[in-house]
């Protein structure tokens, strides 16, 4: 398997959103906005999609990196994508879904219903156009990824467990904002159910999993660079 992390944006972020135990802090840190691309069994799989709305970017103080110009080193055409896995339906994880052709889409049942009510019209139309697998608890994808609904960050937020090269990894969705949430067992500060998030983090922390979050800038220093804003995990 090949696995890449793609940084499509950067911004400042309040530390109290990353760690629940600093909810009175006004400290600011830099974060990434990213998604993942996997190649496995002759399939191309996107894990979340990013977004491109300039108004949303301004609202959140996000600077786009222009990574689209770098994607050719991994995939020539988004129409070739076989599967899109959505960890949850917040805008930065789902709003580029309409750029794809007709991939299979994997998403929690709760967040599928939320997306049909709350996301842009383009995303709603794509969800209705494609074959969608809605998951209530767990679902195994291509004998590799174990999609698990956690429901800590959002009501239907999910994670992906997988094994590669004798290591156990987890793509955390936003149940972690950074690797340290899991490494230090510190719950996130943005949640729908902090008990679910705490239980997930505690289990993952004690299992020694390798975390792959979506907002950790250090990830892009830790792994080998493919281009300026893309690193190869595996």
pLDDT, one tens digit per residue, over 73-97 is 899 889 889 999 999 999 999 999 9
Cα gap 65→4, rounded to integer Å: 16
Percentage of the chain lying above the pLDDT 70 cut: 100
Query: Does the pLDDT of residue 24 top 80, yes or no?
Result: no
Average pLDDT over residues 201-221: 96
CB atoms within 10 A of CB 192: 15
Average pLDDT over residues 104-122: 97
pLDDT tier at 47, thresholds 50, 70, 90: very high
Angle between helices 121-129 and 109-118 (to 10 degrees): 130
Is the dihedral angle over the CA atoms 159, 165, 168, 174 positive or is it negative?
negative
Measured CA to CA in angstroms, residue 47 lies from 19, 62, 145, 163 at distances of: 24, 20, 11, 16
Average pLDDT over residues 190-204: 97
Query: pLDDT: is 136 or 23 the higher one?
Result: 136
Q: Report the mean per-residue pLDDT for the chain.
A: 97
Structural domain spans, the chain = 2-232
Query: Which CATH code for domain 2-232?
Result: 3.60.15.10
pLDDT tier at 23, thresholds 50, 70, 90: confident
Percentage of the chain lying above the pLDDT 90 cut: 95
């Amino acid at each position: 398997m090949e696995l890449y992390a793609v940084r499509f944006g950067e911004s400042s972020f309040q530390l109290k959103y990353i760690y629940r135990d600093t909810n009175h802090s006004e400290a600011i840190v830099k974060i990434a906005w990213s998604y993942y691309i996997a190649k496995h069994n002759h399939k191309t799989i996107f894990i979340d999609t990013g977004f491109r709305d300039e108004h949303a970017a301004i609202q959140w103080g996000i600077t786009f990196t222009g990574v689209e110009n770098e994607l050719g080193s991994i995939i020539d055409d988004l129409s070739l994508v076989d599967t899109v896995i959505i960890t949850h339906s917040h805008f930065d994880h789902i709003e580029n879904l309409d750029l794809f052709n007709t991939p299979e889409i994997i998403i929690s049942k709760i967040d599928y219903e939320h997306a049909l009510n709350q996301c842009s019209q383009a995303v709603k139309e794509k969800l209705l156009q494609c074959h969608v697998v809605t998951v209530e608890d767990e679902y195994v994808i291509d004998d590799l990824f174990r999609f698990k609904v956690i429901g800590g960050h959002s009501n239907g937020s999910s994670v992906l467990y997988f094994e590669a090269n004798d290591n156990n990894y987890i793509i955390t969705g936003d149940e972690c904002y950074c690797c340290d949430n899991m490494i230090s067992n510190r719950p996130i500060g943005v949640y729908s159910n902090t008990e679910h998030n705490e239980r997930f983090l505690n289990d993952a922390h004690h299992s020694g999993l390798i975390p792959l979050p979506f907002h950790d800038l250090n990830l892009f220093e830790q792994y080998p660079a493919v281009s300026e804003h893309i690193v190869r995990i595996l």
